[in-house]
Structure 1
Amino acid sequence: MHELSITRRINAAPEKVWDVLANRQDEWWCPKPWMIEMVAQERRPGGRSAMIMRGPDGEEMPQEGIFLAWDEGRRFVTTDAVKSDFEPSDPFMIGIWEIEAYGDGTRYTARARHWTEDAMKQHADMGFEEGWGACADQLKALCEAD
């Protein structure tokens, strides 16, 4: 499997981490000063997942895909290989965001699975570790702050 991943231990209960993970994405989803505008989140397999990432200098990066899985309280999985209404798209990755109880806290893991080794290397070169790591740190900070 051509996978990149980030893991963090969060000092908060899984229920709290899930709430922030699923319901407050505009606060942690992309590295600051970037922000997202959530366009659609149909939280079910086959449901539309769409957002626009906005940069500090007016950049816009629309993201369109579908949910492959939505396991309430545990994980969600998306792909950009298929758009809503099952329209094929140029695939880049399958994203998996999941949590599990870990001691008295929560383990958060985000994975990006790619069709080819070249796509995985491209994602790594784009700054996967730094970008997804910053998002994980933002999520962790939000969960541990309240």
Structure 2
Amino acid sequence: MHELSVSRFIAAPTAKVWDVMANRQTEWWCPAPWRVEIAVQERRAGGRSVMTMHGPDGEMMPNEGIFLAWDEGRRFVTTDAVTGDFEPSGPFMIGIWEIAPEGDGTRYTASARHWTEEACEQHKAMGFEQGWTACAEQLAALCEAG
């Protein structure tokens, strides 16, 4: 498996982390100063996920796919290999965002699984570690705030 991942301890209860992770994505999904607009989010296996990431210089990166899993309170999994009404797309990755209780807080892990080593290396070169770590930090800051 060609996987990249980031993990971070968040000093907040799992229920709070899930609430922020699932319901406040526009506040942590992209590394600032990027932002995301969510158009469709059908929170169930097979449900559509449509969003656009916007960069500070007018960049636009549309993302469309489906949820492979939505396990309330624990994880959600998406892929861009299928879009719309189960229409095949040029696959890049399967994304997995999950949380688990750990001590007096929560362990957050975000992973990207790729079909090929080449796609995995491309994602790494795009700044996967820095970008996904920045998102984890943004999520943690929201969860750990008062």
- TM (norm. structure 1) is 0.99
Instruction: Provide the rounded CA distance (Å) in 2 between the counterparts of 1:43 and 1:84.
Output: 14
Identity %: 74
Structure 2 match to 1:110: 110
Post-superposition CA distance 1:114-137 (Å, at most 9, x none):
000010000000000000000000
SS of structure 2 residue aligned to 1:85: coil
Instruction: Provide the rounded CA distance (Å) in 2 between the counterparts of 1:112 and 1:76.
Output: 12
SS of structure 1 residue aligned to 2:51: strand
Structure 1 match to 2:20: 20
Structure 2 match to 1:134: 134
- The count of corresponding residues between Structure 1 and Structure 2 is 146
Residue identity in the other structure for 1:60: M
- TM (norm. structure 2) is 0.99
Structure 2 match to 1:145: 145
Residue identity in the other structure for 2:84: S
Instruction: Provide the rounded CA distance (Å) in 1 between the counterparts of 2:57 and 2:127.
Output: 19
Instruction: Provide the rounded CA distance (Å) in 2 between the counterparts of 1:124 and 1:54.
Output: 20
Structure 1 match to 2:35: 35
Alpha carbon RMSD of aligned pairs, Å?
A: 0.4
Structure 2 match to 1:94: 94
Instruction: Provide the rounded CA distance (Å) in 2 between the counterparts of 1:9 and 1:56.
Output: 29
Residue identity in the other structure for 1:139: L
* Contact 1:97/1:109 (<8 A) preserved: yes
Q: Post-superposition shift, 1:84?
A: 1.9
Q: Post-superposition shift, 1:28?
A: 0.2
Ranges of 4+ aligned residues in structure 1 off by more than 6 Å:
none
Residue identity in the other structure for 1:22: A
1:63 aligns with 2:72: no
Residue identity in the other structure for 2:32: K
Q: Post-superposition shift, 1:50?
A: 0.7
SS of structure 2 residue aligned to 1:98: strand
Instruction: Provide the rounded CA distance (Å) in 2 between the counterparts of 1:71 and 1:30.
Output: 22
SS of structure 1 residue aligned to 2:136: helix
Instruction: Provide the rounded CA distance (Å) in 1 between the counterparts of 2:24 and 2:40.
Output: 14
The unaligned stretches of length 5 or more in structure 1 are none
